[in-house]
Structure 1
Amino acid sequence: MITLTVFPPMFGETSASSFSTKAIYLMTMAGVPWTRENSSDPRKWPKGKLPAITVDGKVIGDSDGIRAYLEAQGADFDKGLSDLEKSTSRGLIRMAEDHLYYHVMLDRWADDAVWPTIRDAYFADIPKPLRGLITGGLRRNVMKGMHVQGLGRLSPEERLARANQDLEAITTRLWEGPFLFGEQPTLADACVAPVLGGLRSTPVATLLSKRVSEDAVLGAYIDRVDEALGQKS
């Protein structure tokens, strides 16, 4: 039995973390026996991050490490896809995980209207008198990284314009079926849908959360993937 350790559910999502949700989706798709363990403290896990799996006493961290392990055991997350479709899938995954995901972070960590709710939800285990002091340093580090990455230098309006191109590309893919590559979820869905869900579920409305929540096509897609692959407890 594989134990998958992930961040707990939050804001109506399968997990507080898009990458934890991705790992849950992958475990479901792989069809292997597994059990979920929730944790809010990633410090003891590989690279200080979650998700992670424990298999026969061995710990494997990171959602891509989990994917590689499951594929080595025989899982095929792109079953039936052509080489051309697999290359398109890779592009969609990178677009979601290396671009849209940073918009999720900025909506939650950079917006002064959102941050207090995020702080008190993410770090509820830290006593209130210390919470502001400890999380203030964490927030500054995140913002410094986002400034170096580049998106942290943009206004919310500029970020919406950047992200909207990605959202339109995803919507175009969904013209052909319920999932990105047809009738069944593939690796791309397990990666893209959690990031979209993260954008939609930001607990205080932002330009991007409204953009996604008001899009009927994207909203139905997020819900469809989670209904097929999600586990909220």
Structure 2
Amino acid sequence: MTKANRPMALTLYSYPQLYGQSDNNPYGLKVATFMKLCNVEFRQAHIVDTTNAPRGQLPYLDDDGVVIGDSDDIIEHLTVKFDLTIDRGLTDEQRRTDLMIRRMLDDLYWVMSYSRWADERFWPSFRDELLRTHGDLRPDQLEAARTYNFQRYHYQGIGRYEPAAAYKRGVRDLQALAGLLGDGPFVFGDQVHAADATVHGFVANIYFYDIDTPLKQAVLAAPNLVEHCLAVRTLASQG
């Protein structure tokens, strides 16, 4: 996992930064964290236009002209290409647990997104921070994105929930995650793995946000989630 013989031909396209996080979307932060933990050199390009993205979704990776979408596919591609050892010692049971965590966090994603774009209590703070942090964004662009997200929430289902019921789902996801993490310090004990980058992508995008949603309250109520978030952040910053 050294940087030797790895020319930097990798560009990670992801959403803009926010509240000190390199991506305000958990999947982009997940991949960026993974690459830093594995000492894979890359350039991160922050965009909002998903026209050229595979399936119209971010993040995606441009590996010297080869484009890979989906955070899990990006991690798999990098693991094979650079023979990364971060998950080499995992047991079959741990790999199944890794998959279940990822699928559970897919559920949490919708509640996180709902809290930012749909909940009238928190939308103004999220909107204003985006506009303050990124001077090239316009209010009409964010309103258009909000309208689009309302459609997504309706067809996915979370938009048909009352707010309390929506947050109940997300809080339960976070409580289950805290239970799986246990005493840590990482998901599978003393060594950091890709699962930790995945967890960090989500928890950091709640913990470091100056928006007091029920999801943030659930993270603050779970000291092991906070400790994990800070530990992975420190390791990634050393990569």
TM-score by length of 2: 0.82
3-state DSSP class of the match of 1:212? Answer: helix
Identify which of 195, 198, 206 aligns with 1:199.
Answer: 206
Change (3 A) 1:184 1:14: farther
**Match of 1:81, as an amino acid?**
L
Distance 1:111 1:56 in 2: 40
Contact conserved, 1:51 with 1:61, CA < 8 A, in 2? Answer: yes
Aligned match of 1:190:
197
**CA RMSD, Structure 1 to Structure 2 (Å):** 2.3
Structure 2 residue 125 is the aligned partner of structure 1 residue 117: yes
Identify which of 224, 230, 236 aligns with 1:223.
Answer: 230
Distance 1:29 1:202 in 2: 22
Contact conserved, 1:30 with 1:70, CA < 8 A, in 2? Answer: no
Which runs of no fewer than 5 residues in structure 2 stay unpaired? 1-7
Question: Equivalent residues in 2 for 1:111-150 (5 A)?
Answer: 111-122=119-130, 124=134, 125-127=136-138, 131-132=139-140, 134-150=141-157
Q: Compute the displacement of 1:31 (Å).
A: 3.1
Contact conserved, 2:12 with 2:42, CA < 8 A, in 1? Answer: yes
Distance 1:12 1:126 in 2: 17
Question: Equivalent residues in 2 for 1:65-104 (5 A)?
Answer: 65-73=73-81, 74-96=83-105, 98-104=106-112
Query: Any runs of at least 4 consecutive aligned residues in structure 1 with deviations exceeding 6 A, and if so which?
Result: none
Distance 2:127 2:229 in 1: 25
Identify which of 83, 90, 113 aligns with 1:105.
Answer: 113
Distance 1:24 1:230 in 2: 11
Change (3 A) 1:151 1:77: farther
**Match of 1:215, as an amino acid?**
A
**Match of 1:160, as an amino acid?**
Y
Aligned match of 1:64:
72
Contact conserved, 1:103 with 1:199, CA < 8 A, in 2? Answer: no
Contact conserved, 1:5 with 1:50, CA < 8 A, in 2? Answer: yes
Change (3 A) 1:178 1:46: same
Distance 1:230 1:100 in 2: 25
Q: Compute the displacement of 1:194 (Å).
A: 1.3
Aligned match of 2:178:
171
Distance 2:39 2:169 in 1: 37
Distance 1:140 1:7 in 2: 18
Distance 2:51 2:185 in 1: 38
Aligned match of 1:9:
17
Which of 108-117 and 1-10 deviates more? Answer: 1-10
Count of aligned pairs between the two proteins:
226
Contact conserved, 1:107 with 1:202, CA < 8 A, in 2? Answer: no
Deviation readout 1:48-92 (Å, 9 max, x if unpaired): 333222222333233223112112212244221110111111101
Deviation readout 1:185-233 (Å, 9 max, x if unpaired): 21211112211222334443222222213432211111111211258xx
Q: Percent identity?
A: 31
